[in-house]
C-alpha cells in the first residue's frame, strides 16, 4: 500500500496537511519496513486547500495521508476518494509510515477529539 506523509522539508512531518505541497511517498508490505518510493513537490495550486479540479490528484492514489493535523475539508475530500487521513505527533516520516502500517501510530493529541477547524 502507498502512504503519503506531508513533509515540507522532506525530513519531518508537516504540521498541517491542507496547504502542504511536499509529500514523501512510502510503499509498505507486510513484514517489511516501509520504503520511500517517491517525493511529491506539488505547485501551490495542487495543495488540497487550493485544488478545485475534478480530475486526478496524486494524493487520490494513496491509501492514506499522514500529517500533524488536518482540517475537516481535507479529511472529507480525501475520504471521497477512498483515502484515509491520519494525524500524528510523530515527527519522523519513515517512523510514522511504519507505525501506521503496523497499526500502532498514535493520533495527534490536538486531533484526538478533532481539531475543530473547517479549513481544507
pLDDT in tens, 38-61: 999 999 999 999 998 777 999 999
Low-confidence residues of the chain, pLDDT below 70?
110-120
DSSP state of 23: E
Give the per-residue pLDDT at 16.
Answer: 87
The backbone torsions φ and ψ at residue 19, rounded to the nearest 5 degrees and listed phi first, read -105, 5
- The pLDDT assigned to 110 comes to 65
Question: Beta-carbon neighbour count of residue 50 at 10 Å?
Answer: 14
Amino acid at each position: 500500500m502507498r502512504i503519503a506523509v506531508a513533509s515540507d522539508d522532506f525530513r519531518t512531518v508537516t504540521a498541517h496537511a491542507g496547504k502542504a505541497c511536499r509529500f514523501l511517498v512510502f510503499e509498505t508490505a507486510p513484514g517489511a519496513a516501509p520504503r520511500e518510493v517517491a517525493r511529491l513537490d506539488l505547485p501551490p495550486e495542487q495543495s488540497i486547500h487550493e485544488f478545485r479540479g475534478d480530475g486526478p490528484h496524486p494524493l487520490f492514489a494513496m491509501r492514506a495521508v499522514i500529517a500533524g493535523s488536518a482540517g475537516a475539508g481535507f479529511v472529507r475530500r480525501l475520504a471521497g476518494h477512498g483515502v484515509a487521513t491520519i494525524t500524528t505527533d510523530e515527527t519522523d516520516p519513515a517512523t510514522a509510515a511504519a507505525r501506521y502500517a503496523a497499526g500502532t501510530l498514535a493520533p495527534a493529541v490536538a486531533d484526538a477529539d478533532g481539531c475543530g477547524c473547517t479549513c481544507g
